Amino acid sequence: MGPPGDWSAVTPERWSRGWRRLALATGMLVFPLVTVAGIAEYAHGTDALVGYAIVAGFCCCCALAGASAARPARTPFRVLLGAMSVLFLAALPYARTDAFFLCAVIVSLAAVFVRRHVAPAVAACALASLVVPCLVRSWHDGPGWGQALAIVFTALTVYAFSEIARANRSLVEARAEVARLASEAERARIARDLHDLLGHSLTAITVKSGLARRLAAGEASRALPEITEVEQLTRQALAEVRAAVSGYREGTLANELARGRELLRASGITADLPTATDMVDPAHQELLGWAVREGLTNVARHARAGRCTVTLSASEVDIRDDGVGGPSGVGVPPGDGNGLSGLRERVAAAGGRVEAGPVGPRGWRLRVSLEETAATLP
């Protein structure tokens, strides 16, 4: 978020989403206006003023509910939704059947932000708009077919709108993830080319320069200082290439979690992975990234699991799945395998330990813990 007045922080997606929400909220004002028309028809004098006040309070609660729905805490939204329901009931004596248009606003908000039990609520409100006018004989009204249709179709329209908005957000996130993965693949290709081509050439030049320097050392030749300088330059260039390749190939913990999430998703496994790695000691990020890569690869290949959970702390990672591994050892491959053995060597060199084995009632666990002062393997 930028400072107030910073238009660079307003992305096209946020602008579009805000415009659509404003248009939808403005369209919802039609229903309170129809209710006001009903009050003008059925109530007079003080009763009409009370009915208008109820509708005004309903509109205020609706605006506050829309504003609070974007916040993480849902309690204020539910309180306001309850207040709108009470005001709808209070408007019934003044607007009669037309008060059920307020009910259309309530179920529409619930269809977007609550969702649970929305279908029964919509059906109950539509049924009430048909039955209540017939039960209250003093209204002299028949079933509110128009109100029932408004409740059902408004709720369906708003629900469809919210689903389209969610799909658009998921698409934007997926496109960003694809772009990030493509960038990482390009970085890996560049690192491989640097290592295979330029690194090999610089290594050969360094070796030959060292040999020429040793051969010229026994002679009083002016070429010796030049050869020595060439050797130093090639060694420096080789060190810089290796440093660049290491930077491109760095397997950070955040990248490994992102790759693992995609791998588990492609394998049909529900991934319960952390989205932040700030709690992990920076000195342990690379080594724990290797542990996450090895653990999630094994889950995708061998576990036949339905869910995988990764837990992080400052110097520890814990990977669990609910696959075929278990106390009986069914489905557990014999031995650790090359990947797990290599991980044990890396962790042991860093002063940590690896725990791998089945857990009850079913599943497998890989836990890598490092000492607080341990340094990662270069």
Tell me: the pLDDT tens digits for 19-69?
566 666 667 778 888 888 888 888 888 888 998 999 899 888 888 887 776
Average pLDDT of 258-275? 85
Residue with tokens 């060190």: 239
The pLDDT assigned to 319 comes to 95
Q: How far apart are CA 374 and CA 342, in angstroms?
A: 18
In contact, 241 and 205? CB cutoff 8 Å: no
DSSP state of 221: -
The pLDDT assigned to 316 comes to 92
pLDDT tens, 152-203?
888 888 888 778 877 887 888 888 888 877 777 777 777 666 665 566 566 6
Residue 45 dihedral angles phi and psi, to the nearest 5°: 65, -130
The pLDDT assigned to 242 comes to 65
The confidence band for 376, taking pLDDT boundaries of 50, 70 and 90, is very low
Assess whether pLDDT exceeds 60 at residue 312: yes
Q: How far apart are CA 206 and CA 228, in angstroms?
A: 10
The pLDDT assigned to 3 comes to 43
Average pLDDT of 109-122? 78
Which ranges in the chain belong to alpha helices (H)?
Answer: 12-28, 30-42, 46-68, 75-95, 100-113, 118-135, 145-193, 199-216, 223-249, 253-266, 285-298, 337-349
Mean pLDDT taken over the chain: 77
Residue 323: both structure tokens together: 């696959």
Whole-model pTM above 0.75? no
pLDDT: is 213 or 349 the higher one? 349
Neighbouring C-beta atoms of residue 293, cutoff 10 Å: 20
Report the percentage of the chain scoring pLDDT > 90: 7
Mean pLDDT lowest for which of 100-114, 326-340, 345-359? 326-340
The pLDDT assigned to 12 comes to 41
Assess whether pLDDT exceeds 90 at residue 367: yes
